[in-house]
Amino acid sequence: MTPNEIIRSVLSFLVLIIFQVLILRQVVLFDTAFCFLYIAAILFLPYEIDSVWLLVICFATGLLIDSFYNTFGVHAAATVLVGYVRPFVLRAQFAQKNVDSRLELTLSQLGFVPFLAYTGSLVLLHHAALFFIETNNIGLFLPTVLKTVASALFTLVAIFLMQLFSKR
Amino acid sequence: MLQLFQFISRSRSFIVFVLLEAFCFVFIVNNSNYWGATYFSTASVLSAKVLETSSAVTQYTNLRQTNEVLAQENRRLNETLVQIRQATPADAPASYKADSAFAKRFRYVAVAKVIQTTTHSPNNYITIDKGLADGVREGMGVLAPTGVVGKVKFANQHQSLIVSVLHSQFKISAKLTRSGEIGFVQWEGRDATAVLLNDVSRYKKVARGDTAVASELNSVFPAGAMIGRVRSVKVNPDQTFYDIVLALSTDFAKLSYVYVVDNKLKTAQETLEQRVDAK
């Protein structure tokens, strides 16, 4: 990675967190669909990042988000889970391809379907973990599933929009 | 031993993962501990500062709604205050008991927004955005938070025209709170910040700075509604009344929200008084 790329990814990371905390925190559709766009900051960290550092970054990000949502550790737990699973998903999906060049985790580089599979699976995992830990009540299974799916759709739309409008 | 270290090295990401998750769940389970509440909640210094700044920005977008809600609240409070004052007047003898229908005769019908106002012509009118549909009727009184504004002249479905205090035909009975003198207020037609208080005898004591409010001899405005303060007191040698100038408490150029006040017994009072003339 060139210094330029490092600065760019650090900046976009921070912008996403600030955007989440200041604006998306207030955006709730129909009381069910939440937008947790900050997970994109984790998903689009460079491919070759060390897995232990990834976990630490996830934990810190989750705690930061938690401190704004007043949900002690819930976001941190879900985000750390995503950080742990991310390398496996990446290896399973993109191990054979792109051996010759560096893998860039963007919509334009990956193509629509692989990108959707990658982001969709991890966003769904994150939201499911998040809402089930938060609810902590199996009696509310169906409402929680609805919330998970609706929020995952919302977040995915936001991620796609973000990718379409980012120059790269 | 070597094998143990190799195992740790190989699965270090799994170990870190389990540790962090365990940490998170400890956090979640005793979520009310002092440490967590201090450093990782919206009460922490960082979050509080950020949220404070962000709400200082977003506050502006809600100001209109907040304004409206406060105006409605004030309307309710004013109505209650007037009813209480009417039921137990401060200067009444102990045996006086107000009739409940009489005490509750003033009703704050609506909160309206001023959409047009003039102060420069000899006869000034104000237009408000509430009309017949909102319960506004001709002849009702109009008050601003700072004092008396005028009287409804015409009302259509959604707007009304108000004769302002700054109108040559507008008269209102006023009382000076400190001296207790009663006179009537009229505008002389030039200065939009001042009105004249007539009919106060020169043999009474009137001090500068005394407050003039709507008197009890008033069927349109509840007694005690603010009008202004005495700005200057003059007396001509050949006249029996003072020339009192009141500085208006309401700035008519800056009116925004006004209350429309109805006196439910006004027509009854007028028909009663007209029976004298009919005879």
A58 interaction partners in chain B (CB closer than 8 Å): 20
Phi then psi for residue B166, to 5 deg, are: -80, 65
Contacts of A12 (CB under 8 A, 6+ apart): A41, A44, A166
Give residue B94's Cα distance to chain centre: 31
pLDDT for A146 beyond 60 = yes
Which residue type, as a one-letter code, is found at position B78?
A: N
CB contact under 8 A, B47 and A67: yes
B54 interaction partners in chain A (CB closer than 8 Å): 22
From CA B67, how far away is CA A108, in angstroms rounded? 49
From CA A103, how far away is CA B214, in angstroms rounded? 81
Average pLDDT on B11-16 reads 81
Secondary structure element (H or E) that encloses residue A30, with its range? none
* Runs of H (alpha helix) within chain B: 2-10, 12-29, 34-39, 45-87, 100-103, 266-278
Contacts of B158 (CB under 8 A, 6+ apart): B129, B130, B131, B132, B133, B134
pLDDT tens column, B154-165? 888 888 999 998
**What local confidence, expressed as pLDDT, does residue B71 receive?**
84
**What local confidence, expressed as pLDDT, does residue B279 receive?**
65
Q: How far is A129 from chain B (nearest CA, A)?
A: 12
Which residue type, as a one-letter code, is found at position A151?
A: S
Considering only CB atoms, A67 lies closest to which of B17, B24, B42, namely B42
Tokens at residue B46, please?
A: 């960082």
How far does chain A reach from its first CA to its final CA, in angstroms?
15
Domains of chain B: 108-265 (2.40.10.340)
Average pLDDT on B250-268 reads 88
What is the DSSP code (8-state) at residue B217? S
Average pLDDT on B199-212 reads 86
Asked if residues B176 and B164 have their Cβ atoms less than 8 Å apart, the reply is: no
pLDDT for A38 beyond 60 = yes
